[in-house]
Amino acid sequence: MNLWKLFKLKHVKTVDLAVSMLGKSNIKVLCLSQMNKMMFDTEKWDLSPYNMTHKELKKVSLRRMKLMNLWYKKVDRRKLSILSVTAMIGNFGQFVMARMIKEQDLVNEFQVLIKEKGVYEAELELMHTTSLQITADILHHWNFTQEYILATSESMSFFNTNEDIAQYSFANSVIFSLIEPTNVSGDIVISDTLGEIFKDEQLNINDLRKAVNELEEK
């Protein structure tokens, strides 16, 4: 949907005017749409270290966002204003990470580590950071608020953050682990370990199971 055409706007000169005419929610949609186009709809990005194309990474991104939306509308719909965004753009950092790995001639070593340990462990061991942290740095550069930044950067250490952010980072952690960075269309498996974590945190895992089933039925 082209919101500018929908609202019959020919030209908007200022951010304040755009917000007053379209509202913050629609402005967010427009910004995310532009970010999505900028990051994903271009052939210039080389993701060969991950054995992926930019179109496959886009599929992972959208798959994560859809699952987050299906799950969290059953949990707390209000948090989706942040979670739907972080779920979708959580893998932006892979573009930068792939370039770093290629520049340092570490592609073969990285791909071996992915098979042995998974993507995030491979990134951490070889590059001493993760694509999630790089994404958080990008969000900081783009002047996103701390909720977005920390919900992304701390999604691998949600037990060590403050309670408010932990809710977001935990949700991201669940989605990112269920749909790993290279899981374009594979099965989504809720492990016994994740079930135990939900039990310990007194969360309803049935909502997540229903969301996974709904996603796979589409």
Evaluate whether 115 touches 125 at the Cβ level (below 8 Å): no
What residue spans of the chain are helical by DSSP H? 3-6, 15-22, 24-40, 54-72, 80-89, 93-103, 107-117, 119-127, 131-141, 146-153, 163-178, 192-200, 205-217
Using left for φ > 0, alpha for ψ between -120 and 50, and beta otherwise, residue 50 falls in: alpha
Looking at the structure, do residues 185 and 107 belong to the same domain, yes or no?
yes
Looking at the structure, do residues 1 and 75 belong to the same domain, yes or no?
no
Looking at the structure, do residues 195 and 91 belong to the same domain, yes or no?
yes
Q: Where is 191: in which H helix or E strand?
A: none
Looking at the structure, do residues 186 and 88 belong to the same domain, yes or no?
yes
Looking at the structure, do residues 116 and 28 belong to the same domain, yes or no?
no
pLDDT on residue 37: 58
Per DSSP, 90 falls in state: T
CA distances from 86 to 52, 89, 120, 140, 155 (A): 21, 5, 17, 13, 10
pLDDT digits (tens, 9 = 90+) for 147-196: 889 999 888 775 556 777 888 999 999 999 999 999 888 899 998 899 88
Looking at the structure, do residues 55 and 126 belong to the same domain, yes or no?
yes
Q: Which residue has the higher pLDDT, 214 or 15?
A: 214
Does the structure show a pLDDT above 60 at 19?
no
Q: Which residue has the higher pLDDT, 84 or 2?
A: 84
Looking at the structure, do residues 68 and 85 belong to the same domain, yes or no?
yes
pLDDT on residue 22: 39
Looking at the structure, do residues 147 and 169 belong to the same domain, yes or no?
yes
Looking at the structure, do residues 112 and 59 belong to the same domain, yes or no?
yes
Average pLDDT, integer, range 107-116: 95
CATH of the domain at 188: 1.10.3210.10
Looking at the structure, do residues 10 and 51 belong to the same domain, yes or no?
no
Looking at the structure, do residues 113 and 158 belong to the same domain, yes or no?
yes
Looking at the structure, do residues 189 and 164 belong to the same domain, yes or no?
yes
The number of folded domains in the chain is 2
pLDDT on residue 141: 84
Residue owning tokens 């709904």: 214
pLDDT on residue 217: 84
Quick one: pLDDT band at residue 142, thresholds 50, 70, 90? confident
CA distances from 129 to 96, 100, 154 (A): 12, 11, 12
Residue-number span of the structural domain to which 190 is assigned: 47-217
d(CA 55, CA 184): 10
d(CA 35, CA 37): 5
pLDDT digits (tens, 9 = 90+) for 26-69: 444 445 555 555 555 555 678 999 999 988 998 999 999 999 99
